[in-house]
């Protein structure tokens, strides 16, 4: 097997065999293929794509690059969800305790930020003391006892994915259907769950910009899941507008607590949270979707889910009332009267990257306190002089430029548009 011959074959648009893809993945994982060489391979996939069979081969090679997690000691049915990444996406923090309160187990391995989107592990690490590195015994015990544990992706599961994931971000090969599909499914299949719900974001603030491409990705992931005898459902959701009121790690943890406690619930966030929870509960407990929805709503409204959330965080060493939230603030004031008919999620994500929320090429660490809180959201009425958003920051920033960018991200007109559902489609 020869690297150069495989690359030449790709350049000529010839299909690769499993052995050829496996050769690249195996040798990159063990260090015999360099990052530069792997970058060439990934960019060819990014630019030319892969067939379904090649994507399956890639996924299988990535699965076999590490261990399978076997939960033989778990006394709960294990279900999982994955988001393809969005702006203000704190769904894992909300859905996991709802599902756990319904008797299922969420044994989840999550990642850090990639591109303009935040990572669940970054959000959890904004809680002082939270331990993202439990060993297998601690992980299993917590899922048995509480119903949920979220840790950082172990070094031993889908080893190749972790290296490829970081390299994709570095070289700008993030929004590739074969690379997204193989990354998501290799982690989820190797992590031991039999039920996998995928929250596939579509729009300006997501990797998938259009519904057509998103459906193609969804169908590939479902086919890969069936090959491995997994139940997979893909919920396509709108990510043209940020999810919820907060964007930023500690800010999203605070919004999660407000949501679970019933203090404040953004409508779109509630719709999506209950939809994802319902499919997880329905498939996991083998009950009708309507019954699953009622059960999800019940544990949310009676604070059972909030109780599970607090036990989960405490069990992993954290205190949700002790966040890394030290920051300076300034407010952005509306200069118009009317209705907010659009909020550009991508523009807000770019601002968040500027103020330290996410990792960039120049920054390897995140500012857990930085972010944006929307004082007004989609379809709200606003008057000239009202607070539009509050910016949390610690880095040196140009306030006037940030204000201009925030104002530019909001579309305010005299007519209120018809509200659109956050759920675009569900593919089973």
Query: Active-site residues: which are they?
Result: 82, 161, 168, 183, 187
Please check whether residue 55 is in contact with residue 220, taking contact to mean a CB–CB distance below 8 angstroms. Answer: yes
The β-bridge relationship of strands 328-333 and 423-427 is unpaired
**Which phi and psi (to 5°) does residue 162 adopt?**
-60, -40
The β-bridge relationship of strands 195-202 and 338-343 is unpaired
Instruction: Provide the 8-state DSSP code for 127.
Output: B
Could you give the angle at which helices 91-100 and 304-315 cross, rounded to 10 degrees?
A: 110
Please give the span between the terminal C-alpha atoms of the chain, in angstroms, as a whole number.
Answer: 38
**CA separation (Å) from 75 to 103, 107, 232, 377?**
10, 12, 22, 42
Q: Which helix (H) or strand (E) holds 328?
A: strand 328-333
Q: Return the HEC string of 297-318.
A: HHHHHCCHHHHHHHHHHHHCCC
Report the distance separating Cα 362 and Cα 232, nearest Å.
37
Strands of 423-427's sheet, edge to edge?
79-83, 195-202, 231-238, 423-427
Residues in CB range of 262: below 8 A, 6 or more apart: 301, 303, 306
Please check whether residue 15 is in contact with residue 44, taking contact to mean a CB–CB distance below 8 angstroms. Answer: no
| Cα–Cα–Cα angle for 151, 157, 162, rounded to 5 degrees | 85
Report the distance separating Cα 6 and Cα 410, nearest Å.
48
**CA separation (Å) from 182 to 56, 86, 153?**
7, 19, 15
**CA separation (Å) from 176 to 42, 46, 162, 183, 425?**
9, 5, 16, 10, 21
Q: What count of other Cβ atoms lies within 10 Å of the Cβ of residue 232?
A: 24
DSSP conformation letters of 130-144: --S---HHHHHHHHH
């Amino acid at each position: 097997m020869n690297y150069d011959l495989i690359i030449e074959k790709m350049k000529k648009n010839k299909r690769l065999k499993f052995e050829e893809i496996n050769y690249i993945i195996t040798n990159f994982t063990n260090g015999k293929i360099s990052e530069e060489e792997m970058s060439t391979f990934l960019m060819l996939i990014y630019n030319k794509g892969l067939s379904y069979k090649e994507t399956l081969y890639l996924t299988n090679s990535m699965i076999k690059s590490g261990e399978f997690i076997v939960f033989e000691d778990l006394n709960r049915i294990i279900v999982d969800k994955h988001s393809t990444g969005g702006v203000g996406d704190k769904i894992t923090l909300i859905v996991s305790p709802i599902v756990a309160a319904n008797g299922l187990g969420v044994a989840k391995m999550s990642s850090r930020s990639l591109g303009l989107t935040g990572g669940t592990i970054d959000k959890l690490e904004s809680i002082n003391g939270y331990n993202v590195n439990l060993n297998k015994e601690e992980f299993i015990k917590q899922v048995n006892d509480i119903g949920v544990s979220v840790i950082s992706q172990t070094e031993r599961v889908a080893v190749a994915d972790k290296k490829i994931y970081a390299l994709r971000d570095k070289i700008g090969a993030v929004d590739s259907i074969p690379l997204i599909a193989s990354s998501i499914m290799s982690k989820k299949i190797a992590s031991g769950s039999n039920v996998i719900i995928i929250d596939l974001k579509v729009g300006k603030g997501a990797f998938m910009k259009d519904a057509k491409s998103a459906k193609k990705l969804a169908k590939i992931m479902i086919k890969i899941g069936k090959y491995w005898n997994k139940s997979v459902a893909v919920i396509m959701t709108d990510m043209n507008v940020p999810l919820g009121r907060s964007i930023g790690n500690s800010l999203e943890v605070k919004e999660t607590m407000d949501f679970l406690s019933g203090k404040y619930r953004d409508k779109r966030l509630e719709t999506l949270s209950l939809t994802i929870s319902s499919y997880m509960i329905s498939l996991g407990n083998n009950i009708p979707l309507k019954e699953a929805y009622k059960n999800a709503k019940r544990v949310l409204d009676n604070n059972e889910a909030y109780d599970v959330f607090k036990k989960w965080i405490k069990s992993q060493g954290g205190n949700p009332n002790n966040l890394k939230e030290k920051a300076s603030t300034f407010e952005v004031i509306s200069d118009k009267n009317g209705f907010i008919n659009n909020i550009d999620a991508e523009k807000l994500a770019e601002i968040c990257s500027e103020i330290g929320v996410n990792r960039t090429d120049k920054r390897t660490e995140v500012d857990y306190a930085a972010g944006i809180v929307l004082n007004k959201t989609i379809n709200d009425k606003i008057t000239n002089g009202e607070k539009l958003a509050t910016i949390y920051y610690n880095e040196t920033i140009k306030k006037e430029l940030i204000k201009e960018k925030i104002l530019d991200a909001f579309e305010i007109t005299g007519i209120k548009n018809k509200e659109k559902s956050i759920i675009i489609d569900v593919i089973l």
